[in-house]
Amino acid sequence: MNRITELFQRKDRNLLSVYFTAGYPVLEDTVEIIQMLENRGVDLVEIGIPFSDPMADGVVIQQSSTQALKNGMTLPVLLEQLTSIRSRVELPLLLMGYLNPMLRYGIENLFRKGMEIGIDGMIIPDLPFQEYLESVKPLCEKYDIPVIMLITPETSDERIRLIDEYCGGFIYMVSSASTTGVKDRFTAGQIEYFQRIDRLNLKNKRLIGFGISNGESLSTVCRYSSGAIIGSLFVKLLGTEPTVEEAVDHLLKIAHGDGL
């Protein structure tokens, strides 16, 4: 059984998923970051594949991608780093990246290698849904690696129900129609969006990301979903704290600082 499925069977509330850009701030930090996040109780880890034109990302993640590429990070390098990751960690691992590097590597090659390594899901923000249905969904089923689809406040109920029917893993709810980044609080419109999706009674679990930067915002999304995804805040801390351990500890202190 896929580790994401197992996780949601054990725990379907107050989950914390953390994103980081592979190869940032140092090329060889990937495995250490994953181990440290698991040791501190994070539930899922999203490993970002750096790309030169990350259109869904804000300044913090864009800059981290630029630095990671300068450091020499590529998709083949990342997969090599992760070769023995399952001898070190047990939590679900997802690859998050744009379609172009995956096409260069070969989509089925990536799914095959992902299964060998122990990757549990993929997030591909610029993968068209029709292309997913025609070309990628069969690979998801063959290799037991779901593609997690994103929805936004502009996504229609009809499209959301299609995603819920034909995709697995979980649904990634983007909190607003904007790029990633740290924000202080959610607007009334965003809360209404969370409530609207909650009322749809979808079969897939949902995690909410983009703009979660403190205990208050984390607590808010956990009321309307199974948990939160934090990315920009952690990437920023990786660039400012002296060590990976201090970055992880600072992240969790912020996330739980309001008593969640």
* Chain centroid, CA 105 distance in Å: 20
Report the distance separating Cα 183 and Cα 210, nearest Å. 8
Which one of the listed residues 29, 38, 43, 46 is annotated catalytic?
46
Q: Quick check: is 46 catalytic?
A: yes
Q: How many CA atoms lie within 13 A of 104 on its CB side?
A: 8
Report the distance separating Cα 23 and Cα 237, nearest Å. 14
Closest residue by Cα to residue 152 from 180, 172, 135: 172
Which one of the listed residues 29, 43, 57, 120 is annotated catalytic?
57
Instruction: Classify each residue of 151-184 as buried b or exposed e, where b means 16 or more C-beta atoms within 10 Å of its C-beta.
Output: bebebeeeebeebbeebbbbbbbbbbeebbbbbe
DSSP secondary structure string for all residues of 237-250: HHHHSSSHHHHHHH
Q: Quick check: is 57 catalytic?
A: yes
- Residues annotated catalytic, as ranges: 46, 57
